[in-house]
Every structure is written in structure tokens, then in C-alpha cells.
Structure 1
């Protein structure tokens, strides 16, 4: 195991604490709001930036096609290229965060994201579109890599629970942004779409302003040097084969996050008798479950071993949920509707488990002095899954139909079953490395 609760406390000691304990509000005692301080501030920054992202992602395709004048094919190609380009930023940005401090790195990246996003209103050609959207993706990947050690440094003794809370906040904010984007789509003018893009750019600046209120966290390399350990090399994370395998398995499981967004709408509309309004209803059901239950789902995930076990459960849930959804093909309207709703609920339960396991492993298997690098690799794996998801889900779920849904569910089961063995390998490698480091010369 790379880190333990002792090192968790050491990291938490970098966060200033109030001299006394103020009286907590009902929202705090019920877990709906963190205590006043850095954790609440980071939650506010997350909410602000994700509202902007939800606003933009919902209306981005229409902005580029109806306002800029690009074709659907050009938009899809350009965004695919940008997603792949963005993968290059993860590990380097994480290393910068380790070396210069996650707060300062994340703050700078938020400002870069604001500029890159605002530049989209100047796009008039396909070439310029690819260039600018690639810059936004590079900044987005870099931001995800820097946010990992920042969250870890502020989270305290239970980083998985806090990160689960941030995910619930992000889902709520994304839903709010999507509702706001619906108004823009109804207006359907150049001015409305430009306002949408600039609002997202403004959200990054507001997020940066909130981040300035966070305490400085010493660069992780400095903390590690103080403890007497040697810092990771320039590309140390890529030499950690067990962690790379864990990241690969987690990336396979991460494909599940696109099933309800990409495959399900096409399945409902083109392959079932279910009503089309079910597409929006399923999105609402998924969001509500995540917002209400994500933190609760993380309670049993307290170390790497428990995270591995939960990953197994998530794979089984994905198979059961996707099997239920596949049944909707060729059955009456009422039965198709029921099976899809059941499938979405079961799939979302698997999503809660996978997310909790992924959060714990991304922190627990990473050495304390290289949280940024390891967070960057995790973000790169998730980004790769996002890039490949349209092609993979299109092939399995739409082209192959019912057998494809079951086959993809089976792949999730296999990835989940393999996770505990990969985690055990990673912990054994970590123990061996620690013994070599402490052995007398």
C-alpha cells in the first residue's frame, strides 16, 4: 500500500485549522456541506467550474454547427483529435504540480482554460477550430492532473469520501449548466451561443478567483525530501508497471460512464419501442442517484483492498444493468420502459461503486511525493477511455445489438475481477521498493 492513514494525517497537517470548533450548521452535520474552510472553498470552486462545463458541453455541438458553420463530421473529427491531443498533458502537468505546488499549478491552468475557451468565439474555419479546441483539451487534461494532488492535500484522513462529495457536487452543477444551456438552444442565435461560450470562460476565471482563497500546499517533492525519501524521476509513474495495469483496468471500467450518455439514447430511439422522453428521464434518474448516494457508496471503501473488492461488484452491476437495457429491444412499449429504467438504476449503482474504488486507488496506490504524476496518469487513462468510447460503444451496443450489450458487460466483469489481483501486485511491489530503500548499504 503506497500511503496509509498516518501519511494522510501528515498531508492534512498542511491545511490551516481554526483554533476552536465553530458551531456546525444542519447542512454540515448531515454531510450536505463541508465544514467552513479549504474543503468548502474547493467544493465551491468545483461547483462554479462544472456549471460552466455543463453549460458548454450541452450546447457545444450546436454552437459549432449553427453558429460557426462547421459540419457535424468536422465537429466530430476535430473534437476527437483534440481529445487525443489532450492526453499528452496529464503526466507532465501532474509533475509540474508535484514540483511547484498543486494550488499554484491549478490556478494557472484555470486562467489558461479561460483564455482558450474565450478564443473559441474567434473560430471561423475548421483548421482554427481544431487548433483552439485542442488547446482547451490540453488545458482540461492538465487541470484534471493538478486537481488530483490539490484535492488529496486538502481532503484529510478520508480522501475518497471527500472526492466522492466533490463528484456529487459536480453532477449537480453539470445538471444546472445543462438546464441553462437549454435556454440558449431555445433562443438559437449567434449572440446566445457566444454568450454560452463566454460564460464558460468566465466560470474558469471565477473558479480561479475562489482557488486563490485556498492555502498554499508545499510541493510534494519538498515534503518527500523532508521525510528522507527519494522523489520520483521525471517519468517515474510510467515505470510503475503495477500502477499502469491498475490504470488500464480502471480505464476499461471507465467506459461505463459513457453507456448512458452515448449508447442508451441511440438504443432507446432506434432499437426499442420505449418513448423518446425516456432519454431525458434516464439522465435525471442517473444524476439524482449520483448526487444523493455517491458519498454513501464510498463509506465502505477505506483502503486499496476494499477498493479492489468494490471494483468487482461494479463490474457485475454493469453486466446486470446492460442486460436489462438490452431486453428492451423487441418487447412491448411498457416492458421496454420498465427494463430500461431498471437497467439505468442498476448501472448507476455500479457507477457509484466504480467511482469510489477508482478514487481510493488513485490516491492509495500513489506515493506521497508523486501524487501529481500518478493523478496525471489516471486522468490520461480516463481521457483515453472517453476518446475511444464512441467507437467502442457504437460497435458493441449499436452495431452488434443485444449480444454486444452482453459482451461489453462481460468485459466489465472481467476488468473488475482482475482488479484485486492488480492491486495486490501493486502493493507487493510497493512493499519491496520500500524495503530496498530502507535497507542498509
Structure 2
């Protein structure tokens, strides 16, 4: 893989400039590869619009299209479920063809479907627009997997952690834009966000079109379209990891309801909690991922994450019985511990997502991984609503226990995956 030319404004552009650049690369401030920088920039632009859209799409459907709450929920649920089916076949296509071109097609499709949402005036045009958007989004995620793996080189987990930090930063700016639109609360403001999201898909595509094409990797003759689904250890990893990813909805879904309905904390604490979580991920994810290389390290990292989730959620649960400012202090500590768990989990999860998948089928395996995460986001609202909000303090502890159990099981699944791959290798 070719390296980007080194530039420096120093009077001596030789060793001094290289030293500064090397230090920046080690610190995770930039990457010494043009394709990596393009992937990061494209991801930032894409997530900027997506975060703003996801925050406001229910309000857009309610205020602009004039759907009922039930219709909005039905439409988004249909889109989420249908979106799960595209990842594996499109990922397989990306493995066998050109992943960059497949990803570009999905971005253009999302731009068109998002634009069509501006002309939706009833339920089914709304459902069609968001469903096509979700289908293209899950397809794009599967096609992006081979690009990350092959352009990431020997530092795929670290590079993936950098991409997560960039995405979180973009989400922050997107949420601010969404907040402004909600504050203005006019049809024009909501339509501007929809149009802006459509343009970000085009902007992301404009960056990615400059990536070099990747030729498909040769695959064994026995490898088929459903190879990833036949890989039982990987499927079990995806199931457990999908359960662990529910942690991301704890702060964005369960905590706001908990603050408003069960505590005396001021409502602005919800924004503070999200800000603390986001900043910790932006500044600490790359550092946390250092040294997480191989299943023997990634497994214990996820196991520690489960324990951290239990501790953090237990702390948050105690805030219902104390005055407002004490509740703020207690929940802030719980959010910090929970975020540390999310850092450990993401580091281990991102390592295993690529480590356990064969390079020639990364797109197909990314599709299976995306299906696990998609199911997590479908299940999480109902599960967290029942346990953490309806049940209350005991429910927070039960959910924390589910995280602990999943984390404890993960090293055994990794060991199983290692044995299955050793057996396959010895049979060749």
C-alpha cells in the first residue's frame, strides 16, 4: 500500500518533519495513509447527517407528514427489520467484486431515498423512503468492512477505534444541528435537515470515489455465499456481542427516561451525560485499543466491560432515592464508569470482528456482524424500557447482570472459534 507523501512547514523538512508526523500518527491524530484519511473523512461527513436525521426523523414524520405516533413507530420498525436482510448478500457481492464501488452505489441510493422523503405525504411513501435508506445503509456497512480491513493494514483495530472516535465527534455536531431544528420547530427547519442529510451522502461519496480500487481476494473453492452463517463460533460471537452493544442504548434511551420519570435531577443532565460519554470516547478510544490484539486479550477486555456496565448501572440506579444535585453527582459517576466499559467493549469487539473473519469474506462477515448490531437496536428499546424504566432499580441490576454473563461467556466463544479454525487449517 502506497504511503502519502510527507509534508512539513518546518525550515528543515527532513528528519524534524518526519519526527513530528510520526509522533502525530502514534498519538492517533492522523494516519500515514491517504486511503485511511479518506475513509475517516467520508465517515465523518456521513455520520454528521445521519446523526441529525436519526434525532429528528420522528418529529419530521409527526410535524411535517402528520403521521400518528403509532404510524411513526410502525414505519421505523419495518425499516429496521427489513434493513437487516441486505448486509450478508451485499457483503458477499463486495467480497467478490469491488467494495468501493458497491459502497458508492449504496451512498447514492441513500441520497435519493432521503430526498424522496421530502415528497412523502402519507404513511407508505414514508415507510418506503426510510426502508430503502436502511437497506442501503446496512449494505454500505457490509461493503465498508473489506475497505477498513485492507486499508487498515496491520492496525485494523486501532484504525477502527479511530473511525469510531471520528464518528462520535460527528454525531455531536449532528446532534447540535438537530437541536437547533427542534428549537426552531418549523417545517422548513426539519426539511433543511433532511436535505442536508441527503447532501452528506453525496459528500461522502465524493471523498470515497478517490479511493483506489481493490481487486477481490482469492477465496477457497468451498467458500460459499453463506459461509459466515455456517461459522457457528462467529455467529455466537455476534449474538453475545449484539447483547453487549445494548449498552449504547442505556445512555441514549434508558437514562433520559430514568432522569425525567424516576429522579429529581434536572432534565439538562441528560445532555451533560451524553456530552461526557461522547468526549470520553473521542479522546480515549484509541488509547484504550492499544494492546488489544488477538482473542486472548480481546476476550478479557469484553469481560471487564460487562463488570463495568454492572457497576455503572448499579450506581445510576441509586439516584432515584436522593435529592437533585446528589442524583446528578451519583449518575455522573455512573455514566463515567459505564463509558469506561463501553471503551473496553468496543476495543475488544472491533478486534474480534476482523480477527475472526477470513480476509476473503470480510464483507459477508461484516453483514452478519451488522445484523447482530441491528437486532440489538430493535430489541433494546423494549428491553430497557421494561427493565430499567418500568421495573426500576432491580431492573438496572438485572440488565447489568445480563452484560456480565455475556462478557464472561465471550472468552469461551473465542476459544471455540480458535479451535474450529485450527481444525479447518489442519484439514487443508
> What is residue 73 of structure 2 aligned with on the other side?
76
CA contact (8 A) 2:4 2:33 kept: no
The residue aligned with 2:218 is 224
**CA-to-partner distance for each residue in 1:309-341, whole Å, 9 max, x for gaps?**
101000000000000000011222222111110
**Contact 2:311–2:334 (CA<8 Å) still a contact in 1?**
yes
Which residue of structure 2 lines up, in the alignment, with residue 30 of structure 1?
A: 27
Q: Which residue, 317, 334, 346 being the options, matches 2:337?
A: 346
Partner in structure 1 of residue 308 of structure 2: 317
1:215 Cα deviation from its structure 2 partner: 1.2
Match of residue 396 from structure 2: 405
Structure 1-normalised TM-score?
Answer: 0.92
Among 388, 408, 411, the residue aligned to 1:417: 408
Alpha-carbon distance between aligned partners in 2 of 1:318 and 1:363, rounded to the nearest angstrom: 24
Cα contact 2:2–2:33 (8 A) shared by 1: no
- Aligned-partner Cα distance in 2 for 1:415–1:156: 30
Moved more, 193-202 or 32-41: 32-41
Shift of 1:36: 4.9
C-alpha displacement at 1:72, in angstroms?
Answer: 1.8
Tell me what 1:89 maps to: 86
Deviations 1:113-170 (A, max 9, x none): 1111111111111122112211111111111111111111111101000000000000
Could you report, residue by residue, the CA deviation over 1:330-380 in whole angstroms, capped at 9, with x for unpaired residues?
Answer: 222222111110110000000011111110111000011111111110000
Residues 325 and 412 of structure 1: is their aligned pair in 2 closer, same or farther, counting only changes over 3 Å? same
- What is the Cα deviation at residue 239 of structure 1? 0.7
Q: Residues 261-314 of structure 1: CA distance to partner in whole angstroms, max 9, x if unpaired?
A: 000000001001111110110010000000000101101211122111101000
Task: Please give the secondary structure, in 2, of the residue aligned with 1:158.
Answer: helix
Q: Identify which of 235, 253, 263 aligns with 1:272.
A: 263
Q: Are the structure 2 counterparts of residues 192 and 305 from structure 1 closer, same or farther at C-alpha, using a change threshold of 3 Å?
A: same
Q: Secondary structure at the match of 2:86?
A: helix
Q: 2:420 aligns with which of 414, 423, 429?
A: 429
Please report the RMSD computed on the Cα atoms of aligned residues, expressed in angstroms.
1.5
Does structure 2 retain, via aligned residues, the 8 Å contact 1:224–1:368?
no
Mean alpha-carbon deviation: is it higher for 103-112 or for 23-32?
Answer: 23-32
Given the alignment of the two structures, is residue 101 of structure 1 paired with residue 98 of structure 2, yes or no? yes
How many Å separate the matches in 2 of 1:252 and 1:210?
Answer: 34
Residues 408 and 36 (structure 1 numbering): CA distance in 2 closer, same or farther, change over 3 Å?
A: same
CA contact (8 A) 1:272 1:330 kept: yes
CA contact (8 A) 1:28 1:34 kept: yes
**Which deviates further from its counterpart, 40-49 or 69-78?**
69-78
C-alpha deviation, 1:180, in angstroms: 1.4
Could you tell me which residue of structure 2 aligns to residue 206 of structure 1?
Answer: 203
Which of 235, 238, 253 in structure 2 is aligned with 1:244?
235
Is this contact kept in 1: 2:3–2:33, CA < 8 A?
no
Tell me what 2:177 maps to: 180
Segments of structure 2 that go 5 or more residues without pairing to the other structure are 8-16
2:246 to 245, 251, 255: 255
The separation in 2 between residues aligned to 1:212 and 1:162, in whole angstroms, is: 20
Partner of 1:4: none
Question: In structure 1, what is the equivalent of residue 10 of structure 2?
Answer: none
CA drift of 1:30 comes to: 3.5
Q: Give, in angstroms, the shift of residue 19 of structure 1.
A: 7.3
**Unaligned residue ranges in structure 1 (runs of 5+):** 1-14
Q: Could you say what secondary structure the match of 2:292 adopts?
A: coil
Deviates more, 1:57-66 or 1:198-207: 57-66
In 2, are the aligned partners of 1:259 and 1:393 still within 8 Å (CA)? yes
Which residue is 1:328 aligned to?
Answer: 319
Query: Would the aligned equivalents of 2:81 and 2:378 in 1 still touch at CA under 8 Å?
Result: yes
TM-score (norm. length: structure 2): 0.95
Q: Which residue of 1 aligns with 2:278?
A: 287
> Contact 1:278 / 1:337 at 8 angstroms: preserved in 2?
yes
